[in-house]
Amino acid sequence: MPGYYIWTIGCQMNKADSERLAGLLDQAGLQPVSSVDGASVIVLNSCVVRQSAEDRVVGKLGSLKALKRARPDLVLALTGCMVGSEREKAALAKRFAYVDAFLRPLEFGPLLDIVAERGLGGDVQRDCLEMAARPMRVGEEHAVGLDLDGEHDGGIPDALDITPAKWVPVIYGCDYMCTYCIVPFRRGRERSRPLAEIVDEVKGFVAGGAREVTLLGQTIDRYGNDLPGRPDLADLFDRLNDLAGLDRIRFLTSHPSDMSERIVRAIGELPRVCEHVNLPVQAGDDEILARMRRPYKVDEYRRLIDGIRRHVPGASLSTDVIVGFPGETRAQFEGTYRLLEEIGFDVVHVAMYSPRPGTHAARSIPDDVSRAEKKERLRLVEELQAGIARRLNQALLGQTVEILVEERSGGKWQGRTRTNKIVFFADERDWLGELVPLRVSHATAWSLQGELVAEQAPAPGAWRARVARPAPARGAAISLRLVS
């Protein structure tokens, strides 16, 4: 059976797209392999949110050149946010002439055609590719840049495994045009999937063993705006909350301007919706926010956080911040620093501003904060956040938390609390897919260690026995485990 290998970098949406592609290649009759050496089809799923991510993709492409020269029959494809308009595809084809196909995010049809033409696999159901036919944005043809990397980086899928946690894209694209961001140019206009379709997909995942889903969107809280009857994220939560067998519902990423009180209340009231909100603030200064084209003020953001804390007891909060945005003075940066100090997020994803060709900021605002100053601001935020996160995590010492066990690596089981804290524990029995109680024994800024509370633990191995089947369900029950 011909093998395929998918390398993924970037945000969770990329990881979800890779899972979807893996499902399609499975259906075509190919099998996943754990290294490029045994693969007949290699796909790089790229990210260009920041220059550093783009550099990694270019490096990976370069490293495959010799392999392709030695094995001309190998199918090598590039997808993800590095691939833009037809004009940009032509430029990529010139630069990387040894690559067989350049596919925009979710544009998997041409790859499946090549696979069929070369006799590597059969035909597959392509209904789920409809969303790829997305409207172009005005000006998109002129965007030439790339984007995404950093703290969200995935890496090489080193193994296939059944998993109790699934990604579910519910809204594609983005209608905001933050001046620094390439995503709308690459992922197109906002479009929500019909609610019933999502519920059906999640039912299928649950039937395949999933206990947790993470609903994905660049602006998840805008879900439904473009659908008839305008259901919102709270409606979707409500429907999924009723699904028997589904224990946890997560969601990423929320935009401060769309996080309604209705959604916040739903998070607090629906038992299966996890109390973790990722709410990127990007900057703690009104002038910088306006120049970023983020349509809220710092005080409005503060009130939103207060509302979440009021309605969702025990909520954990994470945010994204860009330091060194063009024109950001030291005093304006200090505004961001003080806001992070005041709110005390559980996690802060911080990045140095990286101009992305084609975006408004790259075209019109000089990148005038020096690299040394950006690095210093990054360091200050990282240092501040390490202290805050350590304090918050150490407050959990001795408490019992429940995790869903997602994988085993380095001899330890690993899972996350409802509040998205990573916890490790050692035990020789099979805990994959179980909701296990752990007493927190060690806490750092980044993760927790725990000890199994044996008297409250479920039976080990039960989940794997339940989901075990002779052949994995196509697409649904199989997923790629991504490691950095």
Question: Which residues bind to ligand SAM, rule: CB under 6 A?
Answer: 11, 49-50, 148, 180-181, 183, 218-219, 253, 255, 280, 282, 320, 322, 351, 353-354, 356
Q: Which is nearer to ligand SAM, 149 or 247 (CB)?
A: 149
Contact 108, 132 (CB under 8 A): yes
- The span from the CA of 274 to the CA of 165, in Å, is 13
Contact positions with ligand SF4 (CB under 6 A) in 182-211: 183-184
Tell me which H or E stretch contains 252.
strand 248-252
Site membership for ligand SF4, residue 416 (CB under 6 A): no
Site membership for ligand SF4, residue 176 (CB under 6 A): yes
Contact 405, 426 (CB under 8 A): no
Tell me which H or E stretch contains 25.
helix 12-28
Site membership for ligand SF4, residue 178 (CB under 6 A): yes
Residue 446 CB, shortest distance to ligand SF4, in Å, is 24
Query: Which of ligand SAM, ligand SF4, none does residue 389 bind (CB under 5 to 8 Å by kind)?
Result: none
Site membership for ligand SF4, residue 8 (CB under 6 A): no
Residue 142 CB, shortest distance to ligand SAM, in Å, is 17
**Choices 155-163, 180-188, 391-399, 418-426; region in contact with ligand SF4 by CB under 6 A:** 180-188
Q: Which is nearer to ligand SAM, 41 or 181 (CB)?
A: 181
* Amino acid making up residue 41: V
- The span from the CA of 479 to the CA of 328, in Å, is 42
Residue 132 CB, shortest distance to ligand SAM, in Å, is 19
Applying CB under 6 A, among 218, 254, 316, 420 the residue interacting with ligand SF4 is: 218
Query: Which of ligand SF4, ligand SAM, none does residue 184 bind (CB under 5 to 8 Å by kind)?
Result: ligand SF4
- The span from the CA of 215 to the CA of 234, in Å, is 12
The three-point CA angle 238-241-243 to 5° equals: 120
- Residue 414: closest CA among 396, 394, 431: 431
Q: Which is nearer to ligand SAM, 49 or 82 (CB)?
A: 49
DSSP H helices in 96-232: 109-117, 183-187, 195-207
Cα atoms in the 13 Å half-sphere on the side-chain side of 222: 18
Burial class (CB in 10 A: 0-12, 13-18, 19+), 468: exposed
Helices and strands (H and E) in the chain: how many: 15, 20
Q: Which is nearer to ligand SF4, 49 or 78 (CB)?
A: 49
Site membership for ligand SF4, residue 217 (CB under 6 A): no
User: DSSP secondary structure string, 85-103?
Assistant: SHHHHHHHHHHTTT--EE-
Query: Which of ligand SAM, ligand SF4, none does residue 356 bind (CB under 5 to 8 Å by kind)?
Result: ligand SAM
**Choices 27-35, 91-99, 126-134, 170-178; region in contact with ligand SF4 by CB under 6 A:** 170-178
**What are 221's two structure tokens?**
């809280």
- The span from the CA of 217 to the CA of 169, in Å, is 6
Q: Which is nearer to ligand SF4, 76 or 351 (CB)?
A: 351
- The span from the CA of 280 to the CA of 317, in Å, is 10
Site membership for ligand SF4, residue 220 (CB under 6 A): no
Site membership for ligand SF4, residue 181 (CB under 6 A): yes
**Choices 137-145, 173-181, 331-339, 454-462; region in contact with ligand SF4 by CB under 6 A:** 173-181
Q: Which residues bind ligand SF4 (CB under 6 A)?
A: 174, 176-178, 181, 183-184, 218-219, 255
